[in-house]
Structure 1
């Protein structure tokens, strides 16, 4: 009988995570994502209705303030203008906070069993996509009410959803690695998100940003995402592709650098936690 030999080799020297290994642990990734999805609104009376109520009520408040009290001119009715901008922003903000706490929250698993540590942030960013789907359905109803029909550009919407996911992951993996050692990071993120919101064209159109500052403004990757959502759904002016290129460049740099940093420090997570 031929003997079976198992050869254990050190991981290849690369600055990026082993995505092949992550793929082999895809069942764990899906299990963790489903666990978080089912636990998100457990023992809640409204349940997943909160995924709809939060952006809807926020949009109505913004409409009252910025469409009646303070006149902000938009190409579409303000309520759907605000709602379309809030969908990617609420996904990003919630995902960023969840990813930041994912490694610390999974500390019990880290100290008992081996698995690629990047599975925890990846499972977390997938959870909010269920809420995005529900919110898009509600936005579709509002658009039907105002007789807005998306054009053919709506087929590009999944691309901007993917960019939103990558943006949350790019900044989140930096923060979750830092949060393991410095727990102040987790407490500072909600405050940073509040400031970040005003640097995004959510309550105002990008046309209100002076031309000379737009390239600087585009360093925020969410600018392109929010403008892309509105273009796909409301048929507004297409994004400035130069600004989009700047946003995507920043996103790629932050994502690659974050993955490299995460891989460098992930072996210390179990010891520090």
Structure 2
């Protein structure tokens, strides 16, 4: 069996297994981010009266919030599910000789399908309320998707390989994702952060991706090129480290599983 065919089969099985027996099926890929959006909107907009700031003064808080949640959900879903991917596929790994590195790629691709569906619905909603916001600049979408892919799969290969030997990694990653979420200007604008802490948040590689999504949707512009280059560099480094670590440790997977 070729690698591409194996990848397709694993992806098909993952999608099928996730929604088997579910009445709503693929609709859950929309319900999850939408429910989170409603909760954050109610807490931060209705109760706390959070303001976006002058930079996005003409943008609805709901759309601004959703634009930030979209890439984060792709990142967090793929990373959290990939952490246990080797353990979940232990029977295949012990029986077959194949490049197990494709497993985190399968998880990212599965999450990406949900992401693209949600993005399309978001664009439709955005066009309904503000037709001028939808333009050809949206074709630059891959500029942010590529570093997001490298960052996510790189970290996924690191956590998935280490989790085989240190099962606490699977528990720790949930805490890490929660902390990372609140350390990223997703539900609050960076203008709300004291100036002495802003520089720290800017070094967060997810910041330029999330800000990039917002600028693409609401300003038809690219994020600061230096910020994008920094995130791309970090993403490439983590991807290379993750691939190297996974390739080295996978030789011992069958002995531990």
TM-score (norm 1): 0.85
Equivalent in the alignment of 1:98? 81
Aligned partner of 1:258 in structure 2 is 242
Cα distance change of structure 1 residues 209 and 239 upon mapping to structure 2, 3 Å threshold? farther
Q: CA deviation at 1:121?
A: 1.5
Pick one of 56, 63, 70 that aligns with 1:80. 63
Q: Residues 78 and 107 of structure 2 are in contact (CA less than 8 Å); yes or no, is this contact kept in structure 1?
A: yes
Question: Which residue is 2:19 aligned to?
Answer: 41
Distance 1:211 1:255 in 2: 31
Answer whether contact 1:150 1:235 (CA < 8 A) is retained: no
1:240 Cα shift? Answer: 2.7
User: 1:143 and 2:126 equivalent?
Assistant: yes
Gaps of 5+ in 2: none
| 8 Å contact kept, 1:170–1:251 | yes
The answer to whether structure 1 residue 242 and structure 2 residue 226 are counterparts is yes
Per-residue CA deviation, residues 183-208 of structure 1 (Å, 9 max, x unaligned), is 11112211211111111121012333
Q: Which structure has greater helix proportion? A: 2
Query: CA separation in 2, counterparts of 1:82 and 1:236?
Result: 17
Paired with 1:251 and 1:213, the residues of 2 have a C-alpha distance of 23
3-state SS in 2 of match to 1:45: coil
Contact 1:122 1:169 in 2 (8 A): yes
Q: Which residue is 2:41 aligned to?
A: 63
Tell me the alpha carbon deviations over residues 140-160 of structure 1, each in whole angstroms, 9 at most, x when there is no partner. Answer: 232134225223321111231
The RMSD of aligned alpha carbons is: 2.0
Match of residue 206 from structure 2: 222
SS class of match (1:239): coil
Aligned positions, number = 251
Q: TM-score, normalised by structure 2?
A: 0.90
Equivalent position SS for 2:141: helix
How do residues 1-273 of structure 1 correspond to structure 2 at under 5 angstroms? 24-74=2-52, 75=56, 76-148=59-131, 149-235=133-219, 238-273=222-257
Over 3 Å counting, the alpha-carbon distance change for 1:236 and 1:62 in structure 2 is farther
Larger Rg: 1
1:253 Cα offset (Å): 1.6
Provide Cα deviations, 1:120-152, integer angstroms capped at 9, x if missing partner. 111111101111122112212321342252233
